[in-house]
């Protein structure tokens, strides 16, 4: 029976935890199966061997502890000096093993994080998923925070917890044997009868740790929920701050600082509430664990003291027994000691897996046959063909119904009418918007450049900004200079290698000129413009469009604009009308086609 087939009523907490770990292993485990698997396996094996070395040193220290106190009990200077020499060796080996272990562990952590980050980022940036995810339901808010912070926490905590768990298991196996051999058994008198209890200290260690683990797990349940909520609230707060930084000019122009301050206060209230919940949960755990830890070194001495007083146990054996008891109990208390770290790991892993699951759904939706998905491909001719196109919102509500058009190479087509419908058509042709029906066949063997209203401008050198998304070394200085001159940015010729936040340096009009500079630099065969000249006055726009026609006389232009002065740049005009409200392709009332409804007016411009 698969995990999905198990009835929900039969699923306990441990089953859910196992299933959660299995899901995370499916996402992050292929790190050890990929192209760099031998390096990953060798580092993991080295980490395991170093962990074994740590356990061996702990065992050696335990026996040394017994011999030291025996030497003190015997008041033997030679034996005492011998133990000092042995301790020096243990001390040096412990430092070497610990330092090497840290090096290997951190290298493994960063390599795993790099691999998982690349895997999630590749999915996020593939097939326009980073854009489509905005309109997809699910738990994937703040994907940047999930990739930057949660992947780091999930991989780092997973390796740290795995190391301490393996260490605890090895200690458990070895120190049970030590405690059985060193402490021996005890004789208990009950109602005049004597009973010999072999390995009584082992049973006491299991009982002590069992009570502590049980109470710790009960007290730790609220911590997981509080930690998950706190990380989500922190991510929302960071996102809000980052958004204000990005939109600083717009906020300042309208005087929106008061509103943003109030928004920050509201976001921080969420942080405070979850912080207090986490504090309350941590207080309960700390209250318990502090007492639990304070009693641990004393308890075994109190229990074994009668044997020492009776003369059946030396001082060295008593101290060795106490230390072995502490080691064994600490190993058994691993769940309690790591509750906070496990809560942080689970919260981060859950956020990463939620993002990965929703990206997987987008991939599966793209691969699976679906009549409610627009097909975008390449035509057999250098012609753009759109057939039987129905564009809908993600909820299924119609935006455009029954759109057919063919644009031949060299045409200049203007699209106006309903702004929302026109912009959605632009996104469909660009492959951003898959919701709907019909097909879009892009021109064969032709390069296409999409020019949005506000071009993306990375924080990089001006040379890299202009070449984006190509590499700057594809072009020489003359290419860059010509592109800047044609776009009206000749004054920036001497700043090609200057790295700056150009999105803030340039005005909106300057940013749109960057889009045209890219056009002159890349020299595509087709361009799709979405209100790409709306920041210009009529004279500046005419000069810019004349430069496009002069420099790229064979280019095919499809432009979305609602400026009535643009007609003379184009040879053809499409006037889009939005489908009536309340019409759904799926997820609502069925479509009622109206034969008399004209959704597209296509006319030639003389």
Task: Provide the Cα torsion 383, 386, 387, 392; round to 10°.
Answer: 170
d(CA 502, CA 459) in angstroms, rounded, equals 7
Strand partners, 556: 526
Residue that the structure tokens 């699976």 belong to: 368
At 575, the pLDDT band (50, 70, 90 cuts) reads: confident
Nearest CA to 531 out of 554, 501, 509 is that of: 509
Question: Token pair of 503, please?
Answer: 């999105």
Provide the 3-class DSSP secondary structure of residue 117: helix
Condensed to tens digits (0 to 9), the pLDDT of residues 486-536 reads 999 999 999 999 998 888 889 889 999 999 999 999 999 999 998 888 888
Q: What is the mean pLDDT of the chain?
A: 83
Report DSSP state, residue 150: I
Q: How far is CA 126 from CA 73, 132, 453, in A?
A: 71, 11, 23
C-alpha closest to that of 374 among 358, 356, 390? 390
Measured in whole angstroms, the distance separating CA 150 from the mean position of its chain's CA atoms is 5
* Mean pLDDT across 466-485: 92
Say which residues have a Cβ less than 8 Å from residue 208's Cβ, sequence separation at least 6. 296, 299, 329
pLDDT over 90 for what percent of the chain? 27
Q: Which of 166, 162, 222 minimizes the C-alpha distance to 25?
A: 162
Phi–psi pair at 104, nearest 5 degrees: -65, -45
Distance CA 350, CA 158 (A): 13
Judge contact between 436 and 594, C-beta under 8 A: no
* pLDDT, position 582: 63
Q: Indicate the pairing of strand 412-417 with strand 460-461.
A: unpaired
The Cα 324–Cα 591 span in angstroms is: 76
Q: What is the mean pLDDT of residues 54-78?
A: 86
Q: How many CB atoms within 10 Å of residue 75?
A: 8
Q: Could you tell me the two tokens for 207?
A: 């009982």
Handedness of CA 530, 536, 537, 541 (dihedral sign): negative
Determine how β-strand 436-442 pairs with β-strand 375-378. Answer: parallel
Query: Confidence class of residue 196 from pLDDT cuts 50, 70 and 90?
Result: low
DSSP state of 30: G
Q: Where in the chain is the domain with CATH 1.20.1560.10?
A: 24-366
> Spelled out in words, what is the top-level CATH class assigned to the domain 24-366?
mainly alpha
The answer to whether the CB of 179 falls within 8 A of the CB of 201 is yes
Per-residue pLDDT reduced to its tens digit, 378-404: 988 899 998 888 888 887 788 888 788
Find out whether 439 and 374 touch, Cβ atoms under 8 Å: yes
Instruction: Answer yes or no: are the C-beta atoms of 542 and 563 closer than 8 Å.
Output: no
Tokens of 552: 């790229």
Sorted by sequence, the CB contacts under 8 Å of residue 503 that are 6+ apart come out as: 457, 459, 511
pLDDT at 602 over 60: no
**Ranges of H-type helices in 126-199:** 129-132, 143-145, 151-183
Q: Are 198 and 181 in contact (CB under 8 A)?
A: no
Tell how strand 436-442 and strand 384-392 pair up: antiparallel
Task: Give every CB contact of residue 598 below 8 A, 6+ residues apart in sequence.
Answer: 577
- Residue 476 has φ and ψ, to the nearest 5°, of -100, 175
Distance (Å, whole) CA 119 – CA 125: 10
pLDDT of residue 133: 83
Residues 6+ apart with CB under 8 A from 550: none
3-state secondary structure of 23: helix
- The CATH homologous superfamily for domain 375-604 is P-loop containing nucleotide triphosphate hydrolases (3.40.50.300)
Please compute the mean of the pLDDT values over residues 291-308 and round it to a whole number.
76
Closest CA to 496 of 509, 508, 514: 514
pLDDT classification of 593: cutoffs 50, 70, 90 = very low
Kindly report the length of the chain.
606
Is 508 within 8 Å of 454 (Cβ atoms)? yes
Q: What confidence score (pLDDT) does residue 565 get?
A: 66
Q: Which two tokens stand for residue 277?
A: 């919940």
For 166-201, b/e burial (b = at least 16 CB within 10 A) is bbbebbbebbbebbbebbbebeeeeeeeeeeeebbb
Beta bridge partners of 378: 442
Tell me how crowded residue 532 is: count the other CB atoms within 10 A of its CB. Answer: 24
Q: Has residue 7 got a pLDDT over 50?
A: no
Residues of the chain with CATH 3.40.50.300: 375-604
DSSP-assigned beta bridge partners for residue 528: 450, 558
Give pLDDT tens digits for 396-440.
788 888 788 899 998 998 888 888 888 888 888 888 888 888 899
Rounded to the nearest 10°, the torsion over CA 153, 158, 163, 168 is: 110
Q: With 60 as the cut, is the pLDDT of residue 5 above it?
A: no
405 bridge partner residues: 386
């Amino acid at each position: 029976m698969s995990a999905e087939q198990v009835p929900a009523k039969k699923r306990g907490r441990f089953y859910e935890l196992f299933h959660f770990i299995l899901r995370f292993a499916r996402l992050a485990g292929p790190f050890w199966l990929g192209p760099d698997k031998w390096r990953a396996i060798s580092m993991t094996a080295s980490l395991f061997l170093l962990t074994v070395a740590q356990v061996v040193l702990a065992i050696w220290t335990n026996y040394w502890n017994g011999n030291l106190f025996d030497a003190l009990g015997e008041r033997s200077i030679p034996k005492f000096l011998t133990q000092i020499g042995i301790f020096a060796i243990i001390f040096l080996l412990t430092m070497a093993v610990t330092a090497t272990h840290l090096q290997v562990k951190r290298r493994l952590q960063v390599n795993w994080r790099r691999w998982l980050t690349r895997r999630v980022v590749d999915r996020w940036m593939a097939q326009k998923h980073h854009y489509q995810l905005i309109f997809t339901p699910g738990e994937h808010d703040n994907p940047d925070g999930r990739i930057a912070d949660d992947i780091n926490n999930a991989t780092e905590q997973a390796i740290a917890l795995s190391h301490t768990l393996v260490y605890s298991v090895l200690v458990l196996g070895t120190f049970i044997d030590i405690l059985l051999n060193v402490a021996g058994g005890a004789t208990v008198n009950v109602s005049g009868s004597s009973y010999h209890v072999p390995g009584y200290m082992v049973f006491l260690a299991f009982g002590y740790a069992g009570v502590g683990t049980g109470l710790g797990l009960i007290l730790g349940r609220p911590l997981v929920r509080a930690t998950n909520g706190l990380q989500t609230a922190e991510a929302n707060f960071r996102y809000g701050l980052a958004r204000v930084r990005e939109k600083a000019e717009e906020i300042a122009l309208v005087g929106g600082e008061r509103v943003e301050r109030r928004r920050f206060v509201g976001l921080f209230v969420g942080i405070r509430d979850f912080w207090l919940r986490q504090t309350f949960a941590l207080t309960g755990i700390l209250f318990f664990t502090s007492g639990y830890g304070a009693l641990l070194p004393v308890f075994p001495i109190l229990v074994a003291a009668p044997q020492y007083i009776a003369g059946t146990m030396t001082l060295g054996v008593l101290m060795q027994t106490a230390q072995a008891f502490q080691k064994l109990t600490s190993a058994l208390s691993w769940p309690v000691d790591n509750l906070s770290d496990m809560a942080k790991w689970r919260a981060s892993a859950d956020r990463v897996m939620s993002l990965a699951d929703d990206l997987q759904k987008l991939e599966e939706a793209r691969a699976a046959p679906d009549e409610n998905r627009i097909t975008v491909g390449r035509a057999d001719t250098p012609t753009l063909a759109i057939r039987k196109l129905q564009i809908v919102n993600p909820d299924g509500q119609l935006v455009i119904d029954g759109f057919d058009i063919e644009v031949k190479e060299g045409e200049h087509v203007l699209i106006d009418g309903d702004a929302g419908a026109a912009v959605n058509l632009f996104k469909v042709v660009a492959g951003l918007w898959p919701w709907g029906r019909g097909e879009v066949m892009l021109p064969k063997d032709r390069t296409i450049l999409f020019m949005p209203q506000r071009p993306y401008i990375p924080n990089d050198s001006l040379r890299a900004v202009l070449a984006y998304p190509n590499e700057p070394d594809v072009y020489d200085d003359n290419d860059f200079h010509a592109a800047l001159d044609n776009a009206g940015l000749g004054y920036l010729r001497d700043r090609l290698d200057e790295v700056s936040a150009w999105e803030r340096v340039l005005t909106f009009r300057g940013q749109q000129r960057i889009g045209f500079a890219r056009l002159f630099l890349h020299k595509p065969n087709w361009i799709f413009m979405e209100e790409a000249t709306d920041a210009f006055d009529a004279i500046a726009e005419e000069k810019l469009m004349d430069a496009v026609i002069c420099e790229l006389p064979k280019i095919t232009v499809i432009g979305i604009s609602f400026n009535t002065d643009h007609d003379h740049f184009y040879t053809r005009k499409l006037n889009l009308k939005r489908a009536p409200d309340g019409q759904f392709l799926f997820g609502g009332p069925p479509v009622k086609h109206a034969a008399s409804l004209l959704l597209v007016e296509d006319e030639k411009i003389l």
